[in-house]
Amino acid sequence: MGDLLLEDVDDLEFPDDAHVTSTGISNEKLGMWVYLASDCLLFGGMISTYLIYKNRPGEIPGLAGNPNKVSEYFDIPFTSMTSFILLMSSLTMVFAVNSILRDDLSRMRLWLTSTAVLGGLFLAGQIYEFRIFVVNDSMGFTSNVASSAFFALTGLHGVHVVIGVIMLLSVLALSFGRRIRAEAVEVVGLYWHFVDIVWVLIFTIVYLIP
Amino acid sequence: MAIIEEHPPLELTTGGTTTTTAPDPMGVFARPKATTGWRSWVNTVDHKKIGIMYGVASFFFLLVGGVEALMIRLQLAVPGNQLLSADLYNQVFTMHGVTMVFMVVMPMASAFANYLLPLQIGARDVSFPRMNALSLWVWLAGAAFFNSSWLLGGGANGGWFNYAPNSGVAFSPGHGIDFYAVGLLIMGIGSTVSAINLTVTVLNMRAPGMTLMKMPVFTWMTFVTQVLLVFALPVITVALLLLTMDRMFDANFFNASMGGDPMLWEHLFWIFGHPEVYIMVLPAFGIVSEVIPVFSRKPIFGYPFMVGSGIAIGFMGWGVWAHHMFASGMGQLSMIAFSLSTLFIAVPTGVKILNWLATMYGGRLKFTVAMLFSVGLVGMFTIGGLSGVSHAFAPADTQQTDTYYIVAHFHYVLFGGALLGLFGGMYFWWPKAFGYFLGEKTGKWHFWLMLIGFNLTFGPMHILGLQGMMRRTFTYTDNQGFNTWNLVSTIGAFMIAVSLIIFMANIVFSYRKHRRNPVNPGPDPWDARSLEWMVPSPVPEHNFDEQPVVEEFDEFWHRKYGHDENGRLVRIAKTEDVVQLGDATGVHLPSPSYWPLVLALGFPLIGYGLIFNLWWAVPGTVLVIAGIYGWVMEPSTDPDAGHGHDDHGDDHDDPAAAAAELPGGSDSEAPSADVDGAPADDGELVTASTSASATTAAGDSAAPTGDDSNG
């Protein structure tokens, strides 16, 4: 990771050392791809858990806990809006990578900041949504299995977004004082796009499919 | 002799390492410089030292798990025994199982993978050396955390697969299961990091010409194992996260009264758990596939089938998990489907057994200790595999589930398979790693005692299981007919213990003998076949003086031997002429670092915080964050460090001198960078004295790379 952020003055083109690896892809980028492949199964397991549990509270009579399904409280227009914000952050991320490839550091900082702000907005929306569920609808993490699975899944995604925002801000901070390699931005971008794509899946599977 | 090109220093740092002035690593630690003493082990990023530490730590846990096994066998030696209470017995067998799986077999395989994999593919190190150190320390921190439960209220007691609902707070109110969940999560982080690292290493760090289908079988099996880990670990991570939330944050994922489903745990656990079985045994298969050809003096029989069957096992291993759950009432269709897939997976495993036999057939067999262990694996694993096939039939399996028949089966595959292979590997590569042989005579005592003890311990368990003795019962009564075989089994267990003592004594005495009369075994003591035997023993820190250019499978062998016009094997070169001397100077290696250790120490603190008091998590989190940022700010190669094993001191002050000395380095400003005709390969092909030879070399090295990207 450190290798990535460290600067190489002559080398802002990526893939800069591609010709020395056997695959032509740099170690850092390939490592991120392998990690993301692993992460797919993490989300796969969580999404499966939600799908198994989402209708349980209403279906099985005599269960302890809140008998309502968490999906009854979804505010689709609101979540659509925050989803749109998150998707737009992928666009700004593309611009950030594009800027650093053109060696335009100030533009890159602008787009990285925008990406982080959009990610932060999404997180704020998620916190607001959780608050409504817990306070207004008394549908908390422990209310029933469906709500537990819902909060675990969306919370896991939220943690991924938080880590992504921290990485964006770290790259931004490191871009002052020392110059960073284009590939650092690109690899963070890979992660960010992955988190967005996972949200598209979660939004479709959890929120839109009844 | 192939065209040899200078190996570029580890490709992690591109350029600038000798010229730019990188800032101090946060000014906290002086950059570690120790090359001897304990510090050189604590801060190392050398894959060989990390491999040795994996080996030492996993052997320590083998003794811990072994003592637990002896306690189990002592308790069961006679009927109605009161040595252990039922509760303590539950803890002992659970800790024994988890220790042997996650702290012995897996890390011992990691020891071999770390040490050998870069050597076998002709690389200087793994792709991420500091991440390699991180995986070791995180795993070790998790293992220590898990075992500390003995002192903090008792170990886990739910069996190694820890079924719900027994794992819930209602039935297991102590902290044992918490330690299980959090400990495995921590070790899972270490394993994931290691799996990503080694996967990228195999894909990216191969020497020129080392196409995938020229890699040694051990490298292949390790690669399959790492890919399995990449995909299997997140599944158990999900299961453990759900369990942690159930136990610590009052969720109800496995609480049936709230609609939770205990079956979900079983599915998630075994979706991980079955690939895990292959994760444990495939590295041993790889070791045996290296040992048998060397001591049969024949190439491995059917190399493509050997590799293909390993890959097939890796794929099919994902479709058989529910055969662990035939007694759970999951429905007839599932039972039939998983019965069939389980029967099918026996085919690629059988292919491997037949290929080993065919490799030995007609060979000039030499029964060294390594070979004995390997042949032992072939035999014992076949027995375990056959009893495994008998589990594939759901009706038979419903009868056998949770009896000692199952215990017998998985010990035949994991002890008789994985562990015998790992011991064989130790005898085989010991001179390579440490520069002296383990005693062959004592080793034979070790082998035969272990083999006989093993069969005495686990053979009778087949009978006990079919007679109806349930696993995990802490005792039995006099009139159940279990007395004789249980006593035999206990005697066998102590024979295994004695054989382990012989092994340790062998290490000590062989080392002493070596100290009295040092005789270096030389680079190639066994007349072996793969690249790691091309470098001196013990392997110098920089591995290869010059990066080998690979033309054939079993490259090293083909540099020593060829065929005459009648197709007979003839020596074409003396070993001394084809091995490397290990005296290269000016090799740039990744610099040691403390940050992986700092980062790793944070995890157990977070774990204690989750279990006892969240305040403990605060220093843990601080350590983790400090570790990550310290790491990021620290250049992977210390600009002030010397070059490789012979320290060249100050030449970094002068980029031109550094570049001249380090021809080709990662330094893009090297004078040879702009050799005309090869602009893309600036700096890598260093020794180019004329542009013509540089272009040729560039073409040669580029071609295999191009091929690989498709495959």
Question: Are A174 and B632 in contact (CB < 8 Å)?
Answer: yes
User: Among A68-72, B156-160, B318-322, B637-641, which is the least confidently predicted range?
Assistant: B637-641
For helices B47-76 and B483-516, what crossing angle results, to 10°?
Answer: 150
Mean pLDDT score, B39-49: 91
Q: In chain A, which residue's Cα lies nearest the Cα of B247?
A: A142
Residue A34 has its nearest CB partner, among B15, B196, B709, at B196
Q: In chain B, which residue's Cα lies nearest the Cα of A24?
A: B709
Find the angle CA(B304)-CA(B309)-CA(B310) to the nearest 5 degrees: 100
Domains of chain A by start residue, with CATH: 2-9+18-208 (1.20.120.80)
Q: Check residue A181 and give its pLDDT.
A: 85
Q: Considering chain B, what is the average pLDDT of its residues?
A: 86
pLDDT at residue B648 tops 90: no
- Partner B, chain A 98-157, Cβ-Cβ below 8 Å: 141-142, 144-146, 148-149, 152, 156
Residue A41 has its nearest CB partner, among B15, B130, B231, at B231
Q: Inform me whether the C-beta atom of residue B316 falls under 8 Å from chain A C-beta atoms.
A: no
Q: Inform me whether the C-beta atom of residue B16 falls under 8 Å from chain A C-beta atoms.
A: yes
Question: Are A2 and B635 in contact (CB < 8 Å)?
Answer: yes
pLDDT at residue B683 tops 70: no
Question: Are B705 and A52 in contact (CB < 8 Å)?
Answer: no
Mutate to test the interface with A, among B20, B248, B258, B270 (most CBs of A within 10 A): B258
Which of left, alpha, beta for B13 (phi over 0: left; psi -120 to 50: alpha)?
beta
Question: Are A42 and B708 in contact (CB < 8 Å)?
Answer: no
| CA distances in angstroms from B107 to B142, B280, B326, B397, B419, listed in the order given | 12, 9, 30, 31, 12
Does B596 sit behind a cis peptide bond, omega within 30 degrees of 0 on the bond before it?
no
Amino acid at B326: F
The number of C-beta contacts closer than 8 angstroms across A and B is 172
Residue A142 has its nearest CB partner, among B130, B251, B264, at B251
Question: Are A20 and B231 in contact (CB < 8 Å)?
Answer: no
Residue B180 in tokens: 């299980």
Q: Check residue A67 and give its pLDDT.
A: 87
Helix (H) or strand (E) holding A18: none
pLDDT at residue B666 tops 50: no
Question: Are B196 and A35 in contact (CB < 8 Å)?
Answer: yes
What whole-number percentage of chain A has pLDDT above 90? 70
Q: If you search the block for the tokens 């999951």, which residue do you land on?
A: B330
Q: In chain B, which residue's Cα lies nearest the Cα of A29?
A: B200
Amino acid at B277: V
Phi, psi of B563 (to 5 degrees): -120, 145
What whole-number percentage of chain B has pLDDT above 70? 85
What whole-number percentage of chain B has pLDDT above 90? 76
Residue A65 has its nearest CB partner, among B12, B192, B258, at B258
Residues of A with Cβ-Cβ distance to B628 under 8 angstroms: 1
pLDDT at residue A207 tops 50: yes
Helix (H) or strand (E) holding A71: none
Question: Are A63 and B258 in contact (CB < 8 Å)?
Answer: yes
Q: Where are the domains of chain B?
A: 44-516
To the nearest 10°, report the CA torsion of B408, B410, B412, B418. Answer: -160
Question: Are A10 and B15 in contact (CB < 8 Å)?
Answer: yes
Residues of B with Cβ-Cβ distance to A21 under 8 angstroms: 11, 204-205
pLDDT at residue B424 tops 80: yes
pLDDT at residue B697 tops 50: no
- Partner A, chain B 650-689, Cβ-Cβ below 8 Å: 666, 668-669, 680-681, 684
Each residue of B480-490: pLDDT tens digit?
Answer: 999 999 999 99
Residue B151: CB partners within 8 Å, gap ≥ 6? none
Residue A27 has its nearest CB partner, among B12, B242, B684, at B12
Question: Are B204 and A27 in contact (CB < 8 Å)?
Answer: yes
pLDDT at residue A169 tops 80: yes
Mean pLDDT score, B558-582: 89
Q: For the residues of B17-47, what is the DSSP string, one character each?
A: TTTS-PPPSTTTSPPP---SHHHHHHS---H
pLDDT at residue B708 tops 60: no
Question: Are B15 and A11 in contact (CB < 8 Å)?
Answer: yes
Q: Inform me whether the C-beta atom of residue A174 falls under 8 Å from chain B C-beta atoms.
A: yes
Mean pLDDT score, B493-516: 97
Q: Check residue B638 and give its pLDDT.
A: 66
Q: Is A201 helix (H, G, I), strand (E, B) or coil?
A: helix
Topology at the third CATH level for domain B44-516: Cytochrome C Oxidase; Chain A (1.20.210)
Amino acid at B638: D
Question: Are A27 and B681 in contact (CB < 8 Å)?
Answer: no
In 3D space, the residue among A93, A85, A95 whose CA is nearest the CA of residue A118 turns out to be A85
Residue A22 has its nearest CB partner, among B22, B23, B206, at B206
Each residue of A21-61: pLDDT tens digit?
Answer: 888 899 999 999 999 999 999 999 999 999 999 988 878 88
Q: In chain B, which residue's Cα lies nearest the Cα of A12?
A: B14
Least Cα separation, residue B611 to chain A (angstroms): 19
- Partner B, chain A 37-56, Cβ-Cβ below 8 Å: 37-42, 44-46, 49, 52-53, 56
Phi, psi of B365 (to 5 degrees): -75, 140
Residue B128 has its nearest CB partner, among A8, A27, A145, at A27
Mean pLDDT score, B599-613: 95
Amino acid at B7: H
Question: Are B197 and A6 in contact (CB < 8 Å)?
Answer: no
Residue A2 has its nearest CB partner, among B232, B253, B636, at B636
User: pLDDT-based confidence at A14, cuts 50/70/90?
Assistant: very low
End-to-end CA distance of chain B: 27
User: pLDDT-based confidence at B381, cuts 50/70/90?
Assistant: very high
Residues of B with Cβ-Cβ distance to A20 under 8 angstroms: 8, 11, 684
Question: Are B15 and A20 in contact (CB < 8 Å)?
Answer: no
pLDDT at residue B586 tops 80: no
User: pLDDT-based confidence at A89, cuts 50/70/90?
Assistant: very high
Mutate to test the interface with A, among B14, B26, B210 (most CBs of A within 10 A): B14
Residue B230 has its nearest CB partner, among A21, A34, A142, at A34
Each residue of B110-145: pLDDT tens digit?
Answer: 999 999 999 999 998 999 999 999 999 999 999 999
**Is the pTM here over 0.80, yes or no?**
yes
Mean pLDDT score, B225-251: 96
Residues of A with Cβ-Cβ distance to B200 under 8 angstroms: 27, 30-31, 34
| CA distances in angstroms from B397 to B160, B275, B322, listed in the order given | 20, 20, 12
What is chain A's Cα-based Rg? 20
Least Cα separation, residue A3 to chain B (angstroms): 6
Q: Check residue B30 and give its pLDDT.
A: 64
In 3D space, the residue among B298, B310, B386, B296 whose CA is nearest the CA of residue B351 turns out to be B310
Q: Inform me whether the C-beta atom of residue B451 falls under 8 Å from chain A C-beta atoms.
A: no
Mean pLDDT score, A108-134: 96
Residue A24 has its nearest CB partner, among B15, B238, B705, at B705
Question: Are B259 and A53 in contact (CB < 8 Å)?
Answer: yes
Could you give the CA distance from residue B118 to residue B120 in angstroms, rounded to a whole number?
6
Residues of B with Cβ-Cβ distance to A7 under 8 angstroms: 16, 20
Least Cα separation, residue A12 to chain B (angstroms): 11
Question: Are A45 and B23 in contact (CB < 8 Å)?
Answer: no
Question: Are B257 and A63 in contact (CB < 8 Å)?
Answer: yes
pLDDT at residue B285 tops 90: yes
Least Cα separation, residue B155 to chain A (angstroms): 27
Mutate to test the interface with B, among A145, A168, A183 (most CBs of B within 10 A): A145
Q: If you search the block for the tokens 């963070």, which residue do you land on?
A: A188
pLDDT at residue A74 tops 70: yes
Q: Is the ipTM here above 0.85?
A: yes
Question: Are B210 and A23 in contact (CB < 8 Å)?
Answer: no
User: pLDDT-based confidence at B505, cuts 50/70/90?
Assistant: very high
Higher pLDDT residue, B441 or B656? B441
Residues of A with Cβ-Cβ distance to B130 under 8 angstroms: 2
The 3-state secondary structure of B468-514, one letter per residue: CCECCCCCCCHHHCCHHHHHHHHHHHHHHHHHHHHHHHHHHHHHHHH
How many Cα atoms are found within 13 Å in the side-chain-facing hemisphere of B1? 12
pLDDT at residue B692 tops 50: no
